[in-house]
Amino acid sequence: MNKINVLLNGVGRIGKAILRISNEKNYFNIVAINELNTNINNIAYTINYDSTYGNIQDKYKVEDNFICNNINKIQILNENNMANIDYKALGIDIIIDASGAKIDIDILNNLEVKKVFLTHPNKNANINMILGVNDDLYNNEKIISTSSCNATALLPVIKIIDENFGIQFGDIATIHPLLNHQKTLDSSCIGSTNREVNCNFEFGRSSLQNIIPSKTTTIDACSLVLDHISHELISSNSFRVPTATVGAINVSLVLSKETSKDEIINLLKSCENNQKYKVLLNNFEPLVSSDFAKSEYTSIIDHRFTSIIKNRMLKLVLWYDNEWGYASKVVEIVNKLK
């Protein structure tokens, strides 16, 4: 059976991780990359070398408007408008949009491809999907959102707890690594169209010198997958910290049914042992954030901090690689639905 051909739109942090993982998994062919960076030599360079995940051995070289190694020959495009790409001529079956840009859904629906995967939450997508949560509900939709790294980490665990004990209410705080839009030294404020913020003062502060409090769209993303997991049920906030990758989520939930720490741990162990994909992982070792870098597991429960107060208040700490872990789930979803 021939493998499907994929166009990767955007080769930033998530796009690069998707490319590297797809090369390892060999599920599909990435035959084209559409990237606003017009320096093809720099595109190859940024794929070959990475300060966080290391350098690849089989390095890409530039040949005309292609980057090539022993696995791939990838055509490089520089189109601002995705509607201008001739997908049929390129033999493209599927698009993975890792650009983070807001693209009109009508434009995506009219593209001559079978499916479009968006690596961000999108209320206008046909379905927002997280493995281990709602992937069984897929009904051949064309525009599929693969949600966010935070929601991908949180929601599989939240769903398990809610189905078994019920959640009356709760709170989460994400501890998130710095991102490219932040500043290395204090500067002017930063706007965010995704968060509908014209000028975020805190993100104009040095990302290397501060823990920066922020709002988070985690629960909003969760509600697009399971609509009852919303801000009416769970409050949230975030802290940006000066690390390169691996986030954590501090979770506090008041449950409808009484339970115990042992019951929670045994339930999550059972779920780990019976899962189809690498989603849940139970950790009991004295580890730190860098120990979880490049993990494909996206909901790593650190049971050193699991506790139950008065039989109903549950405390959990989750770890997740916000780049590699999330990108691995994007690749798995594409492979599942292709």
Q: Does 256 lie in the same domain as 164?
A: yes
Residue 198: pLDDT band (50, 70, 90) is confident
Mean pLDDT score, 222-251: 98
Q: Does 63 lie in the same domain as 209?
A: no
**The CATH number of the domain where 83 resides is what?**
3.40.50.720
Q: Is the pLDDT of residue 2 over 80?
A: no
Residue 1: pLDDT band (50, 70, 90) is low
Buried/exposed 232-242: b ≥16 CB within 10 Å, e otherwise:
ebbebebbbbe
Amino acid 221: pLDDT:
98
Six-digit token pair at 337?
A: 């639905």
Q: Judge whether 142 lies within some domain.
A: no
C-alpha 268/C-alpha 280 separation (Å) is: 8
Mean pLDDT score, 208-214: 96
% of the chain at pLDDT higher than 90: 93
Amino acid 129: pLDDT:
98
Amino acid 199: pLDDT:
86
Mean pLDDT score, 155-164: 98
Q: Judge whether 141 lies within some domain.
A: no
Name beta bridge partners: 200. 190
Amino acid 228: pLDDT:
97
Q: Judge whether 144 lies within some domain.
A: no
C-alpha 14/C-alpha 144 separation (Å) is: 16
Q: Does 86 lie in the same domain as 40?
A: yes
Strands (E), the chain: 5-9, 29-34, 61-63, 66-68, 73-77, 94-97, 115-118, 127-128, 143-145, 167-177, 190-192, 197-200, 212-214, 234-241, 247-255, 280-283, 299-302, 307-309, 313-320
Q: Judge whether 112 lies within some domain.
A: yes
- Any idea which of 187-191, 261-265, 315-319 has the lowest mean pLDDT? 187-191
Q: Judge whether 338 lies within some domain.
A: no
Q: Judge whether 336 lies within some domain.
A: no
Q: Judge whether 263 lies within some domain.
A: yes
Q: Does 196 lie in the same domain as 56?
A: no
**The CATH number of the domain where 221 resides is what?**
3.30.360.10
Amino acid 107: pLDDT:
94
- Grouping H, G, I as helix, E, B as strand and the rest as coil, residue 70 is coil
Q: Is the pLDDT of residue 83 over 80?
A: yes
% of the chain at pLDDT higher than 70: 98
Report pLDDT digits (tens) over 275-321.
999 999 999 999 999 999 999 999 999 999 999 999 999 999 999 99
* Residue 40 domain boundaries: 5-119
Q: Does 75 lie in the same domain as 167?
A: no
Q: Does 86 lie in the same domain as 11?
A: yes
Helical segments of the chain, H only = 13-25, 40-48, 87-90, 105-109, 149-165, 218-225, 261-273, 324-337
Q: Does 64 lie in the same domain as 115?
A: yes
Q: Judge whether 131 lies within some domain.
A: no
The answer to whether 301 and 268 have CB atoms below 8 angstroms apart is yes
Q: Does 181 lie in the same domain as 66?
A: no
Amino acid 194: pLDDT:
57
Report pLDDT digits (tens) over 12-37.
999 999 999 999 999 999 999 999 99
Report pLDDT digits (tens) over 87-146.
999 999 999 999 988 899 999 999 999 999 999 999 999 999 999 999 999 999 999 999
User: Which amino acid is residue 143, in one-letter code?
Assistant: I
End position of a domain, from candidates 100, 119, 138: 119
The answer to whether 7 and 34 have CB atoms below 8 angstroms apart is yes
Q: Does 306 lie in the same domain as 220?
A: yes
Judged on CB neighbours under 10 Å (0-12, 13-18, 19+), 48 is middle
End position of a domain, from candidates 69, 98, 119: 119
Residue 195: pLDDT band (50, 70, 90) is low
Q: Does 11 lie in the same domain as 108?
A: yes
Q: Please tell me the total count of domains within the chain.
A: 2
End position of a domain, from candidates 119, 134, 166: 119
Q: Does 308 lie in the same domain as 159?
A: yes
Q: Does 81 lie in the same domain as 22?
A: yes
Amino acid 191: pLDDT:
79
